[in-house]
Structure 1
């Protein structure tokens, strides 16, 4: 059974190890510890059998939610862990009064982009060379900037028209 709970500083080492396995520029243990001390940062972990298998973060930046650090152990991918974490994180953000959420994702990370689209995020721009070098090529990679915007009447709005 998978459970989701708030991340604590005691989870920083496991979260950092997970990031290192998944990203060439993953966060350090110290980065997680420092972020968890911020009053506008909310991070969550997914656990299975007492082991950290996924993470997802939220920062409340002037009333907008920035989703960060969505990461799941390889063997738990395609099993709904990232969906459960993202759904939980978005709901927690809504409880804080956040109506609009944003995130960045590698342009080549099609599974993640598909997940975010499932939750109503849409691409609104690109940050050139945003991510550190890729393990395979040694080149920097662009980030797709995605937003999930909620209008005052509760409908989802976007900057770009739907295709």
Structure 2
């Protein structure tokens, strides 16, 4: 499943974007343990990946899962649940590629809104989401159990193609 081919001459190798399934639950759970203080378990992934309203996309690169994004689709809304990139693959546009892909899918399938929660201190993630047109719609006080940090609730409409979203920089979040 993983694309380990070297880039062809003149090609910027971005890895293979793949939809992950129940057979990938163990790999995703291991990735979660490396990325988050309260990771999903293999069983949670296996159960979720078998459901119609849940999807997970990954980028396979150099024989391993370099990045992934999990989401839920329900009642015309998409919620980004988790987005992670392994440290050695950061700053290569993988998070942008995944986010752009799922926002385009949301647009094409008639979703009206996209939501996510992000740690208030996660400046790189906030900058990424702002570039894709997300704006802050609220704050969940002491949301994260590991350090009681607030989460910001971000939103954007899915009615625009991601290529039509203008770059936004310097956005202040409350």
TM over 0.5: yes
Partner of 2:7: none
| Partner SS state of residue 130, structure 1 | coil
What is the CA-CA distance between 1:151 and the residue it aligns to?
Answer: 6.2
**Equivalent pair of 1:18/1:72 in contact (CA under 8 Å):** no
Counterpart mapping for 1:58-77 below 5 A: 58-77=71-90
Q: Which consecutive unaligned segments of at least 5 residues does structure 1 have? A: 134-138, 157-161
| Partner SS state of residue 140, structure 1 | coil
**Equivalent pair of 2:21/2:50 in contact (CA under 8 Å):** no
Question: What TM-score does the superposition give when structure 1 sets the normalisation length?
Answer: 0.85
Over the residues paired in the alignment, what is the CA RMSD in angstroms? 2.0
Matched residue pairs, number? 151
**Equivalent pair of 2:59/2:94 in contact (CA under 8 Å):** yes
Question: What TM-score does the superposition give when structure 2 sets the normalisation length?
Answer: 0.80
Partner of 2:154: 146
The 1:96–1:142 alpha-carbon spacing in structure 2 relative to 1, beyond 3 Å, is same
| Partner SS state of residue 120, structure 1 | coil
The one of 37, 45, 54 aligned to 1:41: 54
What is the CA-CA distance between 1:73 and the residue it aligns to?
Answer: 0.4
**Equivalent pair of 2:17/2:60 in contact (CA under 8 Å):** yes
Q: Which consecutive unaligned segments of at least 5 residues does structure 2 have? A: 1-12, 166-170
Which structure has the highest strand share of the two?
1
What is the CA-CA distance between 1:84 and the residue it aligns to?
Answer: 0.6
